[in-house]
Structure formats: C-alpha cells, structure tokens
C-alpha cells in the first residue's frame, strides 16, 4: 500500500456539558481528523491532542504541523506500507505520540477496509460489547455534582469517574458515595497532587474507590510507588505510561496496580496492544481511556477495549454524552454497554453533511 494524498481537517464541535479538569475548562472540542487516500483506498485518523499543552506536551496546531511536515513524508516514501510498518517508519522522530497515532490509525483504517477486516478482529478483540464508564468533570458545587451524577446513574453507566484536584476531592467523593450507595466509583487527578498530599489522599481509602488515577506528575514514578505504599486504594497510571517499556518500568517499581491505555498517548493502537500484552503478563488489569473523541476515535477505542485484558469499564461513552451531533452515526449505549463495530476498518463512516457543517479548515496534501 502507498500513501497518495492526505487531507487535514479541523472541526469545532460544541460540548453539550462543560468539561472541567485540573487542566482547565473546555466548552468545545477542537478536532483534527486526517483522511488518507492510498493505493488501496481511504482511511480516517483522529488526533486526540487538545488545543493547548497541559495533559501532555502535544497540542493541536503543533500536532498538525508535525503530521504534515514530518510524519506523512516519512510514510510516503514507503511503497509497501502495512499498519506495523507505520511506527517503524516514524521511529526516527522522537516523541509526538498523538500525531503518530493519528497517522497510524488512518493508514490502518485504509489497509483494513481494503481487506474487509475490522479493527477489533485485527487487534485481537474477543468482546462484542464494552462496558461504559462516565468521566465527570469538576462541578461548581456539590449540589451540581450530585445532580449531574444522578443523570448519569439514570442513563445506566457501569462506572463513575470523578475528576479531582486539591480543594475538590474528599468532600465530593464522600457526597457521591453517600448519595448513590455502592456504585462503582473511581477518581482521576490528572497529575494535580504531590507526594506531600499523601495523608490527604489516604482519606480517599474510606470510600471504596476502584482506583486513584494519575495523582502525581507524569515523570514521578518513584513518588507514585511511595504513595502506593501509603494507600489501600489502587493507583492507576495514565499520563505516566507512554510505551510498553514505561509500563514495564512502572510495574517493576510498584508505581501502579492498574493501567489506563490510550492509543494517542502511546503512539498508536499497536503500541497500545503491546501495553495490554505486558500488563496481562504481569497480572495488571487495564482499561481504555478516552479524550472526548468523535465517533471515529471512539470506534477505534471500542476495538481496543475488546481485547481480553481490558477488564475494567472504559472511558467510552455514547456520542450524546459529549455532542449533540457526531461526525459518524451517533454511537448509542444500551444497559451500560456499547457494541464493538464489526465492519471493515473502523466500521463507521463519517456523515459528509455533518462533517462539513462543523469543519473550520481543510488542508489537502498531494505531494510530501
Ligand atoms: C483523562 N479524559 O483520562 C482524560 C483527560 C482529558 C475522559 O477523563 C478536553 C477534551 C479536555 C479532552 C481534559 C477523560 C480534556 C480531555 C482532560 C481529556 O485523563
Ligand atoms: Mg486520566
């Protein structure tokens, strides 16, 4: 397979509910989609980078530039492209995992569509549906939080994840636990604490949380190990796990008992699968994280979450959780479950009319 043309498309999708985390408040989702046209057909990739650095170093304009100037040219020289050759063609460029994952996803989609194989079958998925959790942003008050969570309980989610930060942690968690009884509850700090908060974080042990996700900064693996020794609540790493290599290191250090896997954060779906594999070999449960993707990104995430080691509910939600309209047919949840797409490639097609309506910019590349 050869890359012939590419299109970088930016979309501006309003969020139905504001999403506040320790990284900031988002009212819209600025999206970058990459459409590749290859010798064997077309494919779509979605870049999960946010408009500004914060979650990680990458940001959307930077990722778009890296994709256009460095990544697409590096794969365009190959005339025997396969999904597995994408990452090796890009390995000489350090970092930029979200940009790399976008290119891999688009070429994998093209390659699999041409062969009539789904992402899930290609990756080794064994599940027909995925358990959905909901990620709940920081609210303006405990009352607002309880009202928002009540809505999600009624919608049937299988698990509730509260975003926490210093000043919004023990009390909101206590309030949700008291109000909603034995729901499956976990928290995510997006690196907002330090080891000096260990005593405070230990108070969360009172609430039977399934996990505490990424309490400390990305590079602080030894501090996560030290914190883990002081808590009963299992620690899950998100931002800190950037490759299968770093997953093995974190596990060996005792820095995490659970791993959140996001293909964008680790450079692609094949590296994501390797993390799944090494975690399974060490008895570490994994689950599929999310970045408020459109239906295209969520389709790929559903395929990944279908692998056998993904034993905890995913940050995968029906389209309506975030968007009034999605760029694919709306993904729906029934009984807290979403079906894994089974059609060729991503198994979902963009809706051209909706796509056009939300598009803010298109760059077409015909030579690299
Ligand atoms: C996480 N995601 O697990 C992230 C990070 C995150 C679903 O909780 C705008 C769009 C703001 C996506 C902030 C979830 C965001 C974002 C944080 C994703 O850490
Ligand atoms: Mg997280």
> Do 71 and 153 sit in the same domain of this protein?
no
> Do 85 and 104 sit in the same domain of this protein?
yes
Q: Are 261 and 275 in contact (CB under 8 A)?
A: yes
The answer as to whether 316 is a domain residue is yes
> Do 96 and 146 sit in the same domain of this protein?
no
Question: Residue 61's domain is classified under what CATH number?
Answer: 3.30.390.10
> Do 207 and 355 sit in the same domain of this protein?
no
Sign of the C-alpha dihedral, residues 231, 161, 136, 205? Answer: negative
Q: 322-343: per-residue pLDDT in tens?
A: 999 999 999 999 999 999 999 9
- Does pTM surpass 0.85? yes
Cα(53) to ligand 2 centroid in Å equals 15
100 is catalytic: no
The answer as to whether 257 is a domain residue is yes
> Do 111 and 210 sit in the same domain of this protein?
no
| Substitution site in 292, 294, 313, 316 for ligand 1 pocket (most atoms within 8 Å of beta carbon) | 292
At residue 253, φ and ψ (nearest 5 deg) are -80, -15
Grouping H, G, I as helix, E, B as strand and the rest as coil, residue 314 is strand
Q: Strand 159-163 relative to strand 185-188: parallel, antiparallel, unpaired?
A: parallel
- Ligand 1 and 189: CB distance under 6 A: no
> Do 145 and 260 sit in the same domain of this protein?
yes
Residue with CA closest to ligand 1 atom 16: 291
- Ligand 1 and 238: CB distance under 6 A: yes
The answer as to whether 346 is a domain residue is no
What pLDDT, on the 0 to 100 scale, is given for residue 368?
93
The answer as to whether 170 is a domain residue is yes
Tokens of residue 152, six digits = 């999600």
Question: Tokens 């920081």, residue?
Answer: 138
> Do 74 and 157 sit in the same domain of this protein?
no
Q: Are 81 and 2 in contact (CB under 8 A)?
A: yes
Q: Strand 212-213 relative to strand 235-237: parallel, antiparallel, unpaired?
A: parallel
Closest CA to 9 of 347, 341, 321, 352: 352
> Do 217 and 302 sit in the same domain of this protein?
yes
The answer as to whether 171 is a domain residue is yes
- Whole domain around residue 106: which residue ranges? 3-116+351-365
Please report, for residues 7, 70, 222, 360, the alpha-carbon distance to residue 203 in angstroms, rounded to integers and kept in the order given: 50, 47, 21, 46
What pLDDT, on the 0 to 100 scale, is given for residue 292?
98
- Ligand 1 and 292: CB distance under 6 A: yes
> Do 44 and 109 sit in the same domain of this protein?
yes
Q: Which one of 9, 10, 163, 276 is the catalytic residue?
A: 163
Residue with CA closest to ligand 1 atom 5: 291
Rounded CA separation 136/162 (Å): 5
Question: Residue 274's domain is classified under what CATH number?
Answer: 3.20.20.120
The number of beta carbons lying within 10 Å of the beta carbon of residue 143 is 10
- CB-based burial label for 116 (10 Å; 0-12, 13-18, 19+): exposed
What pLDDT, on the 0 to 100 scale, is given for residue 174?
98
Rounded CA separation 313/301 (Å): 12
136 alpha carbon, closest ligand: 1
What total number of domains does the chain contain?
2
- Ligand 1 and 135: CB distance under 6 A: yes
What pLDDT, on the 0 to 100 scale, is given for residue 305?
99
The answer as to whether 77 is a domain residue is yes
Residue with CA closest to ligand 1 atom 15: 291
Tokens of residue 241, six digits = 């796990």
Rounded CA separation 286/232 (Å): 18
The answer as to whether 11 is a domain residue is yes
Tokens of residue 119, six digits = 């992402």
What pLDDT, on the 0 to 100 scale, is given for residue 250?
98
Q: Are 292 and 276 in contact (CB under 8 A)?
A: no
**DSSP letter (8 states) at residue 332:** -
Q: 126-135: per-residue pLDDT in tens?
A: 999 999 999 9
> Do 80 and 129 sit in the same domain of this protein?
no
Low-confidence ranges of the chain (pLDDT < 50): none
> Do 106 and 134 sit in the same domain of this protein?
no
Cα(188) to ligand 2 centroid in Å equals 6
> Do 225 and 147 sit in the same domain of this protein?
yes
Question: Tokens 């970058």, residue?
Answer: 32
- Ligand 1 and 242: CB distance under 6 A: no
The number of beta carbons lying within 10 Å of the beta carbon of residue 142 is 15
**Atom nearest to 289 CA in ligand 1:** 3
- List 5's β-bridge partners, or say none: 37
Question: Tokens 């697409």, residue?
Answer: 72
At residue 102, φ and ψ (nearest 5 deg) are -65, -45
What pLDDT, on the 0 to 100 scale, is given for residue 323?
98
- List 237's β-bridge partners, or say none: 259
The answer as to whether 344 is a domain residue is no
> What SS3 string covers 225-282?
HHHHHHCCCCEEECCCCCCHHHHHHHHHHCCCCEEEECHHHHCCHHHHHHHHHHHHHC
Cα(78) to ligand 1 centroid in Å equals 34
What pLDDT, on the 0 to 100 scale, is given for residue 314?
98
262 is catalytic: yes
């Amino acid at each position: 397979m050869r890359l012939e043309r590419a299109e970088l498309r930016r979309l501006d999708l309003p969020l139905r509910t504001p999403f506040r985390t320790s990284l900031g408040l988002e009212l819209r989702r600025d999206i970058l989609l990459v459409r590749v046209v290859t010798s064997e057909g077309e494919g779509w990739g979605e870049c999960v980078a946010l408009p500004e650095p914060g979650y990680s170093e990458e940001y959307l304009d930077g990722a778009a530039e890296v994709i256009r100037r460095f990544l697409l040219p590096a794969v365009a020289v190959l005339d025997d492209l396969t999904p597995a050759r994408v990452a090796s063609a890009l390995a000489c460029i350090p970092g930029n995992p979200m940009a790399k994952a976008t290119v891999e996803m688009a070429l994998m989609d093209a390659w699999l569509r041409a062969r009539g194989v789904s992402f899930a079958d290609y990756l080794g998925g064994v599940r027909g549906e995925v358990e959905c959790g909901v990620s709940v942003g920081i609210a303006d008050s405990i009352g607002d939080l309880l009202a928002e969570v009540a809505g999600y309980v009624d919608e049937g989610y299988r698990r509730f994840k509260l975003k926490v930060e210093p000043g919004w942690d023990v009390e909101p968690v206590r309030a949700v636990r008291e109000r909603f009884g034995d729901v499956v509850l976990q928290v995510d700090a997006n690196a907002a604490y330090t080891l000096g908060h260990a005593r405070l974080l230990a108070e969360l042990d009172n609430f039977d949380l399934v996990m505490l996700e990424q309490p400390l900064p990305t590079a602080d693996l030894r501090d996560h190990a030290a914190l883990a020794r002081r808590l009963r609540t299992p620690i899950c790493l998100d931002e800190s796990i950037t490759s299968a290599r770093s997953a093995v290191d974190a596990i060996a250090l005792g820095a995490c008992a659970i791993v959140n896997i996001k293909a964008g954060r680790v450079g692609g779906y094949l590296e994501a699968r390797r993390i799944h594999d090494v975690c399974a070999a060490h008895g570490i449960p994994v689950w599929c994280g999310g970045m408020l993707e459109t239906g295209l990104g969520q389709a790929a995430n559903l395929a990944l979450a279908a692998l056998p080691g993904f034993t905890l509910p995913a940050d995968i939600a029906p389209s309506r959780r975030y968007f009034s309209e999605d760029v694919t047919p709306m993904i729906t949840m029934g009984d807290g479950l979403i079906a894994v797409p089974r059609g060729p490639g991503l198994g979902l097609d963009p809706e051209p009319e909706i796509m056009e309506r939300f598009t803010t910019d298109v760059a077409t590349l015909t030579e690299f």
